[in-house]
Amino acid sequence: MNSFDEVVTIFVGQAGTQVSNACWELLCLEHGIEPNGFFNRANESLEKSCCVFFEPLQRKFSPRTVVVDLEPTVIDEIRIGPYRNLFNSHSLITGKEDAANNFARGFHSIDRQMKDIILDRVRIMCEKCSNLNGFIISRAVGGGTGSGLATLLLEYLNEDYAKKTKLDFAIYPAPNISTAIVEPYNAILTTHHTLDYKDCCFVTDNEALYDICRKLEVQSPMYTNLNRVQAQVFSNITASLRLNDSRNCNLQEIQTNLVPYPRIHFPLIAFAPIISPEKGQYNLSIRNITYDCFQPANQMLRCDPRKGTYIACSLLYRGDVNVFDVKDAIAFLKNKGSIRFVDWCKNCYKITINRHPIVTIPGGDLANKKQTVTSLCNNTIIRHAWTRLLRKFDLMYQKKAFFHHYLAEGMEEKDFQDARDNICTLLEDYIQLET
């Protein structure tokens, strides 16, 4: 029995399922696990994979994951795809009918039997852990399954595993592109309902990810390209748990250093260097890649962090990184003066260095650099994303547009007002931090 901290991952909805494909593709490469689940002897040094994989048979690994969608199409692609033998068949759960981009349908109308199946599979996965550290949930909050069903699951996880850390990777509606007109309703409702059920929520949007892909010179970005960028961040955040190193940064430590108050738990994500394989021969200093993480072009949410105030910052370095170079980069940022922190927390850089460099997908979009950094920053600029979303919510809410779809699934009009009031209070919380 190992003594490693173990993490159970839960991917919900179509977007969550597609992100899971990218994540397990990358993690298998990092740990030397073949698509059929068998261990590659050439990577014996990465035996700490038990953090996110379990071993049902000798040298045969399966992810500690549950992948859920209310309709079968996307998960069926996994069942017949190249990684079909990697997953435990009980980890892939599908219904017969989707949530139709309706939060209420995913939250109120899900079949009770299916809900019990999902929770039972999560319980079984947790029982396979000897030292469960927490949960990582991945979803898009604009759709019905990622918002409604994921909210229901978080509610029950909070009841059954109250003391375990719950990190949420949430794709929020983008400013100018959308797949459903009711995305603002779904995003505001799920944020309202899950605010007390998760410890930290990392927010991204597809528009920012498209910008990153264009920076990588991808001509016609598809969801696969976007998801592989997110998978790289997922890998870096869990690297200290998964890879043998002198330093172990678990999920609680991430939460402790980024969340000053329970409700202020929406860090921004940035990654550097964002450079294509064709330009991978150019070397960038630690100072340069650290500075890039504070620029708009490297953010995974469409915003300009320089216009906000930083509350906390965690810098996760990977590869051949010298601690003195990191200290020099931090000193450079402080002297530059363009990065503002709240008055009551001046020394809020949390540094983690993992000696294992990143692994990239062969033929992928990202250069395989020996020195990289992922920044997780709690910044008040995110309130502008809430303001933008709330404005779109209000435009429909004032006309009661599309209400009947939600009311028919068991919601009440008061639920919309309560959600709106809660997000307005959240905005006020951020404004008070800046004054």
Q: CA-to-CA distance for 94 and 132, rounded, in angstroms? A: 25
Dig out the tokens for 397 from the structure.
């809410």
Whether 166 contacts 40, CB under 8 Å: no
Residue 434 known to be catalytic: no
Task: Phi first, then psi: give them for residue 321, nearest 5 degrees.
Answer: -115, 125
Q: CA-to-CA distance for 386 and 392, rounded, in angstroms? A: 10
What is the number of residues in the chain? 435
Q: CA-to-CA distance for 60 and 251, rounded, in angstroms? A: 26
Per annotation, catalytic residue among 55, 77, 207, 253: 253
Q: CA-to-CA distance for 149 and 153, rounded, in angstroms? A: 6
End-to-end CA distance of the chain: 51
Whether 404 contacts 340, CB under 8 Å: no
**Beta strands 165-172; 132-140: pairing state:** parallel
Selection from 309, 321, 300, 306 nearest residue 373 by Cα: 321
Active site residues: 253
